[in-house]
Structure 1
């Protein structure tokens, strides 16, 4: 485990074309779950100039009948949700406008072959929706137990979006990216060596006084977000380094669901299993198992049992129990990782009913329309708020300590 190094993470705004796609896909997940908590959704979204296309497999009462036909008004409701998502993000541009874009819906009923392997029946418990590996991670670099480089990258863009929507920064447009590079000593961030922000802007804000105004605004946002001790005269800023950035969003670059999985997770500080989250209902372990491993890893660090913790689980399609559970505290743990694995398994069994797909989604309360807010600014490092982000709770700390006693 290196203690002195330089590390970088990036984030993208809610107006980035891939994030527009993620938010639309998760809005569809929420729509189906709002009508049927047992709905099945695998929704992919393509966005490009004045076009949104949905494709994938779905099943759910109130949307599709038992013979696979759309219920009355269901397709109109889907189109309304898509347009409202684009409107909320803020796209009213010539090349991408929530009212004027063309919409195509190619969603169709879920494969019966997949359903028979995943659904519970008789004495068979609900199985995993696919094979795969999933990772969760936590560290003590920030109050939310997230990697600092990603934590600050997200918050820079979240603040800029809030200022755009409130009118405090009317020259901003929805598409933006950020990147934060920090120097670490003894495993702790000590200096920001480079900040990169590229933001779509109103016409003319790439030259003269208007360009200076935009760059001064971004530097002030960075100063408000990062701790003062990390910034200095040696911090290098790259703000709109290519110059003009008026054409953005899906008009500037096509967007697809699931192309920002490192932004969605830990900014590269932890492994990723490769499966995207957005557009998938919680029976898909790509999503639910990644959430529960974050939940467990965060509680390990919150309990003071490690400074860093990575957890991996794996599944086979149609099989309910995980094939493996692996824990690595990177040499920072207060107990052997093997003992911690046993403690985590025991606590998960007691508090969640185990690490089966059903145990995870019932234990964490995932069968609810809570997913669209996850689709921008990260799925992790967010405040648990009622039904939202339940995997960010730290209510297992005492149970984990007791299991290791």
Structure 2
């Protein structure tokens, strides 16, 4: 039986964190290609350091997307995040673009031809997870870590708290009783600030009201431990303070360590890459299982081989919370959704420019958008899964 009384911690990072700057730029490139050519191929990696951005990778798409235009997209992303400081300025930083054509040997395995359907863009394993801890069917620690930073970004950008800088990290430790989250034992926040005279206590006075608003009533008590800017001043931030790379925040992007991760990053990849699309599909299926009240927790694993269309395996674990025949439900998942790369893309409408917005504050637990963004968060398979479960 699973433990019922414990503490669990997850962290998030803001859109101005160096790695998230890189994720944002890489996904802006993906969106640009998909806007011009829905079946474009993109594998884009970004590095950011003091006043320098390097964009590299493989693409297949229209020649109208020049290196100058890609550099412009990067500048606009950095500007929107809010970097206009001496060591990293959206207008003056040097940007090098080293995108080149996709490998023909990879393309021949992925592309459909003759009787062969489109194959997976790589081998690998992908996981999806959902649970009843929150309305969003996400683990509480990661969800509230995201909410804190998203709120602080909103008040920073609105000018309400203009003294805050773009770079920030949060960490929330949640106390569980009877297997359910009931309170917060510690809160860690490190946030960049633009006024060098601010102390850690000054910063806490600024951010504490917003943090309290983000957490459920009663979760913060007199015993909750706070660590706000515990190292003191945090003025030099972003890529000027620490080098950033695409794909280094995969646990932040998913479930905060509360569920397995297959190891593949999402940002910078078009939806033929199953690292991204199959992870979205696994979350979609797991969320619908829980939303259908067939279980309180659900983990789904999918596995693929490069160039092969159908998944090699489909695994489901209901963690002893299931209210149905687990094996029967697992066997029927392929009937409610085609799990080939093409099937996933078509079902979730993934060949659209919907990815830049995913680069910060988590790919899961978000609201589905009218234009297809976060389509994997819909719960439109509930009826089909209930019928399948009998």
Q: Name the TM tier (shorter chain).
A: over 0.9
2:365 touches 2:377 (CA, 8 Å); kept in 1?
A: yes
Query: 2-side partners of 1:114 and 1:249: how far apart?
Result: 35
Aligned residue among 268, 275, 281 for 1:292: 281
Aligned residue among 374, 378, 385 for 1:393: 378
Aligned residue among 174, 190, 211 for 1:198: 190
Query: 1-side partners of 2:247 and 2:162: how far apart?
Result: 30
Which residue of 1 is the match for residue 214 of structure 2?
A: 225
Which residue of 2 is the match for residue 22 of structure 1?
A: 23
Matches within 5 A, 1:180-219: 180-207=172-199, 211-219=200-208
Query: 1-side partners of 2:147 and 2:257: how far apart?
Result: 17
Aligned residue among 237, 254, 259 for 2:243: 254
2:203 touches 2:229 (CA, 8 Å); kept in 1?
A: no
TM-score, scaled relative to structure 1:
0.95
Query: 2-side partners of 1:250 and 1:203: how far apart?
Result: 19
Q: Deviations over 1:376-400 (max 9, x none)?
A: 0000000001111000000000110
Which residue of 2 is the match for residue 161 of structure 1?
A: 153
Query: 2-side partners of 1:31 and 1:19: how far apart?
Result: 18
Query: 1-side partners of 2:388 and 2:20: how far apart?
Result: 40
Instruction: Give the superposition deviation at 1:219.
Output: 1.4
Cα–Cα, structure 1 residues 205 and 158, in superposed 2: closer, same or farther, change >3 Å?
farther
Q: Secondary structure at the match of 2:181?
A: strand
TM-score, scaled relative to structure 2:
0.98
Query: 2-side partners of 1:356 and 1:113: how far apart?
Result: 20
Which residue of 1 is the match for residue 223 of structure 2?
A: 234
Instruction: Give the superposition deviation at 1:205.
Output: 4.4
Instruction: Give the superposition deviation at 1:340.
Output: 1.6
Instruction: Give the superposition deviation at 1:214.
Output: 2.1
Which residue of 2 is the match for residue 68 of structure 1?
A: none
Q: Secondary structure at the match of 1:121?
A: coil
Q: Deviations over 1:356-405 (max 9, x none)?
A: 00000011100000000000000000000111100000000011001111
Query: 2-side partners of 1:213 and 1:159: how far apart?
Result: 18
Which residue of 1 is the match for residue 162 of structure 2?
A: 170
Aligned residue among 168, 171, 174 for 1:179: 171
Query: 1-side partners of 2:8 and 2:56: how far apart?
Result: 37
Which residue of 2 is the match for residue 322 of structure 1?
A: 311
Which residue of 2 is the match for residue 126 of structure 1?
A: 118
Query: 2-side partners of 1:17 and 1:291: how far apart?
Result: 24
Matched, 1:402 2:387: yes
Aligned residue among 90, 100, 111 for 1:108: 100
Matches within 5 A, 1:35-54: 35-54=36-55
Instruction: Give the superposition deviation at 1:212.
Output: 3.6
1:30 touches 1:372 (CA, 8 Å); kept in 2?
A: yes
Query: 1-side partners of 2:226 and 2:332: how far apart?
Result: 45
Query: 1-side partners of 2:194 and 2:58: how far apart?
Result: 39
Q: Deviations over 1:195-222 (max 9, x none)?
A: 0000000132433xxx544211221112
2:10 touches 2:172 (CA, 8 Å); kept in 1?
A: yes
Q: Which runs of 5+ in 2 are unaligned?
A: none
Matches within 5 A, 1:141-156: 141-156=133-148
Which residue of 2 is the match for residue 75 of structure 1?
A: 67
Query: 1-side partners of 2:269 and 2:197: how far apart?
Result: 39
2:325 touches 2:389 (CA, 8 Å); kept in 1?
A: no
Q: Deviations over 1:119-146 (max 9, x none)?
A: 0001000000010000000001111000
Instruction: Give the superposition deviation at 1:336.
Output: 2.9
Query: 2-side partners of 1:206 and 1:5: how far apart?
Result: 36
Which residue of 2 is the match for residue 351 of structure 1?
A: none
Q: Which runs of 5+ in 1 are unaligned?
A: 64-70, 349-353
Query: 2-side partners of 1:337 and 1:274: how far apart?
Result: 26
Query: 2-side partners of 1:117 and 1:189: how far apart?
Result: 45
Alignment coverage as a number of residue pairs = 388
